Structure 1
C-alpha cells in the first residue's frame, strides 16, 4: 500500500549498507518460530445525539452498528547478522445498521452507504542488533502521532520508520509518512490537520515527518521524552514530557507532565499557527482504587494542532471533547476501580469529569464546556467465552460554542491467537 516504493527501496538499501559493520550481531529467532498471528472480532454500537447543534453541520444524530475483523500477522526475523521479516494487517468492516442522516460515527465510510470495506497492508522489516527499519503499513504510537484505535478498525499510515534501542533505557525513532488510511476508509489519503476539534479540509500535506526518543531511568519508574513532528507545509510541533511512578507505602503515586509548542510550517497552507499546550495528570493508586487530578492549558493564538483524525496524549483529551481550543483552561477529576480487589477479576469501572473555560471563540464571548464520562468493562475469565471483553460508555458533554453531545457506546471484543 506504499505509494513511494522507489524511496522505500532506497532507504532500505541504505539501512542494509549501514548495518554491515555489525555483522557479528544476529537475530536470534527464526522467521517462522518467531511469528505470531491474531484475529480480533469487534462488534461496535455507537450513538451520538447532538442536542444543541452549533456549527455548519445540521445533522441531529449519528448512530451506527458495525462488525469488524482485525487480522494481525508478525513474522520473526531470518537468521543471520541481518534479519528480515514481514508484517501484515488485514481489516474488514461490515455494516449492520446505518442510514441517511445517521452517518459520520467514525465506524463506516461516510460518502457512500457501503455494506463493507476492507484493507490489506504489508510491512517489510529489517533488524540489525537492536535497530529496526520498517517500510510499508505503519501504526506509530508517538506523542506527536498517537495510535488511536478507538472505533471499529484502527487507522494506519504508509511510509518508513527507523527505531533503535542500542543504548540501555533509550529508545530513538524517526520516520517519514506520505499517506494515511483513516479508521473508516479502505484507501490511502493525503493527510490534513485538525485545529482543536475542527478538521481543516482546505489544505492537504504530502508528508508527516517525526523524530524523537524516550529515556527510561530510575529503575524504570521515570521516563523523559523529547519529540518533533512536522505536517509538511501546515505545522511543526515540539514535545517534552516526563512520567514518573513512585511507591509510597501501600500507595503508588504517579505524574504525567507534557508541553507542546507548535507553529506554521513551510508554505503555511493554513496560515499562521501559534499554540503552546501544557498538561499535567497526577494519580494515586491504593488497592483497587485509582484517583486522578488533571490540569491542561492552551496558550497562543491557535487551537491545538494534530493530524486528522488522531487523538493526542493531552491529559484532559477524551474521545468526545478535546478541551484544546484556543486559550482553553481545563480541570479533570477521575476515579477508577478494579473489582479484582473484591474478588471479581476482569471487572473495571471509571468515572471522570472535565470542565473547561477561557476559550477564545472569536465571537465576542468566553467559551465554556464540560464532559462527564462513565465507563464499565468486563473480560470473561473462564468457560467457553473466556477472553470475551465487553465495554459500555456513557457520555454527557455540554458547550456554549460547539454542539452538545449525548453519547453511548457498546463494544464487544474477542481475540483468537492463531500462531
Structure 2
C-alpha cells in the first residue's frame, strides 16, 4: 500500500467536450481536387488520465488517452475538413474512437515513456487544431537533471492522425504539399529525434538545439532563441529560429534542400500586445515536416503556412485582453501576413496573403465555468494556389475528474 500511495494520490484525470464547426470555401481552385467547400459540424470527447509514480528509487506510472469523434453534420461533397474520418464511399464516418496508453518509468528527474504519446516538440509539434488531437506511438526520454536544462530523445514508430481511429506509418510533406509516389503518401519507418533546451537569465532567455530524422526521407537541424525583456511599462520579446533540412538515407523522395529562418518580435503594454514577424525560405524546397503536423515557424498559421520554396513573408499582429476593460476572459486578435518570391515552377513568382481574426471567451464563474468559446474568421488569397474563405466556431468544456 505504501508503494501505491504516490501512484494513486498524484493521479489526475480530465475530460474535455469539444463541439467544432469548420467551414472552408474555395475559389479559383488550383490542383486536381474540384471540391469547392469543406464544411462539417462534429462533437468530440478527449479523456486524459495521468497517474502518479510508485514509491522507490525507480517509480512506475501509467498514462491513458481516450478519443471519441461524433458526426453532427456532413455530406459527401463537404468532407475532408480534418474533423471526421472519411469512409471508402466518400462519406464521413458517423463516429470514430481511439484508446491508448503508455507506461512511464522515472528515475530521479528522468522519465522514459513507452506507448501512446502527445508531444510538444519544435520538430514534431502537437497540433491540436481540429476536433481531436493526433497521437504518436513509440518511446520518449525526458531528463531535467540539471537546473534549467531539458534533454529529450525519442523513436516513434507510427501515428494516429487527427481524424483517424487507427494508426499507420508517419507520412511526409514539403511545405503545404504532401509528397506522394503513384498517388500514395510517402512514409518513413521511424521518426528519431534528440534535442536540448536551456533556460537562464531568471527564465527570461531560452535557447534550443534539435536534430530529427524521418528515416530515408529527410533529416533536420533546428536552433532557437527566445528572450523577454521588461523595459519600463513595456515587455519586449523575441522569438528567433533556424531550420536546416536535407534528404536522408535511401532518399525515397529524392533530394531535399531547405534552410528556413524566422523571427517574431513582440511588445506588450498593458492589455495590448503588438507583433512583427519575418520569415524566409532558402534552397530548392519548402520546409519538410511530418504529414499533417504544425511547426514553430513565426508566420505559420492554420490556413496558409508561408513555407513554400524561396518564400519571404512578413506579419503584423495585434492582440487585446479585455480584462483591462472589465471583461475578464475575453481576448481578441487580428493578424495580416503577406508572402512573395515563391518559386512556383510555373514561370511566375508566387504571392499570397492571409488575414485572421480570432475572438475567444472563457466563462469565469458559475455553472458554465470551464467553457471556452472561440471564433475564427480567415481570408486567404494566392496567385498560385487555391483561395480560401474560412470560419470556425469551437466550444470547449473541460471537467477535472481527479
Instruction: Tell me the TM-score normalised to structure 1 length.
Output: 0.93
For residues 168 and 364 of structure 2, the distance between their equivalents in structure 1, rounded to whole angstroms, comes to: 41
Q: Report if aligned partners of 1:192, 1:201 keep a CA contact under 8 Å in 2.
A: no
Report the equivalent of 2:316: 333
Q: What are the ranges of 5 or more consecutive residues in structure 1 without an aligned counterpart?
A: 1-26
Structure 1 CA distance, aligned partners of 2:245 and 2:86?
31
- Return the alpha-carbon distance in structure 2 between the equivalents of residues 188 and 398 of structure 1: 34
Q: Output one character per residue of 1:9-41: Cα deviation in whole Å (capped at 9) or x when no partner.
A: xxxxxxxxxxxxxxxxxx997000010000000
Partner of 1:153: 132
Question: Which residue of structure 1 lines up, in the alignment, with residue 20 of structure 2?
Answer: 44
Residue 182, structure 1, aligned to residue 165, structure 2? no
Q: C-alpha root-mean-square deviation of aligned residues, in Å? A: 1.0
The residue number in structure 2 matching 1:135 is: 114
Distance 1:186 1:360 in 2: 37
Counterpart among 353, 357, 373 of residue 374 in structure 1: 357
Determine if the alignment matches structure 1 residue 173 to structure 2 residue 149: no
2:8 is paired with a residue whose SS is coil
**Structure-2 separation of matches of 1:182 and 1:309:** 8
* Distance (Å, rounded) in 1 between the aligned partners of 2:5 and 2:154: 26
> How far is 1:301 from its partner?
0.3
Task: Tell me the SS of whatever aligns to 1:32.
Answer: helix
The equivalent of 2:170 in structure 1 is 191
Map residues 176-255 of structure 1 onto 2, 5 A cutoff.
176-202=155-181, 203-255=186-238
CA-to-aligned-CA distance 1:222-247 (integer Å, 9 cap, x gap): 00000001010000000000000001
What is the count of residue pairs matched by the alignment? 393
Distance 1:111 1:397 in 2: 29
Matched, 1:111 2:87: yes
- Cα deviation per residue 1:75-126 (whole Å; 9 max; x = unaligned)? 0000111100000000000000011110110000123421000000100000
Tell me how far apart the structure 2 counterparts of residues 263 and 139 of structure 1 sit (CA, whole Å): 26
- Identify which range, 214-223 or 382-391, moves more after superposition: 382-391
Aligned to 1:6: none
The verdict on how the C-alpha distance between 1:247 and 1:262 changes in structure 2, with shifts beyond 3 A counting, is same
Residue among 72, 83, 86 paired with 2:62: 86
Partner of 1:256: 239
> How has the CA–CA distance of structure 1 residues 218 and 62 changed in structure 2, closer, same or farther, with 3 Å as cutoff?
same
The DSSP-based 3-state class of the residue aligned with 1:31 is helix
Whole-Å separation in 2 of the counterparts to 1:386 and 1:127: 35
Among candidates 272, 276, 301, match of residue 318 of structure 1: 301
Q: Which runs of 4+ in 1 moved over 6 A?
A: none
Residue 194 of structure 1 deviates from its aligned partner by 1.1
Contact 1:42–1:411 at 8 Å: present in 2 too?
Answer: yes
Deviations 1:272-330 (A, max 9, x none): 00000000000000110000000000000011100010000000000000000000000
Residue equivalent to 2:370: 387
Cα deviation, residue 201, structure 1: 3.2
Counterpart-to-counterpart distance in 2, 1:312 and 1:96: 30
TM-score (norm 2): 0.97
2:390 maps to 407
State the Cα deviation string for residues 322-344 of structure 1 (Å, max 9, x = none). Answer: 00000000000000000011111
1:33 alignment partner in structure 2 = 9
The answer for unaligned runs of 5 or more in structure 2 is none
- Cα distance in 1 for partners of 2:260, 2:27 equals 30
CA, structure 1 residues 247+88, in 2 after alignment: closer, same or farther (shift >3 Å)?
same
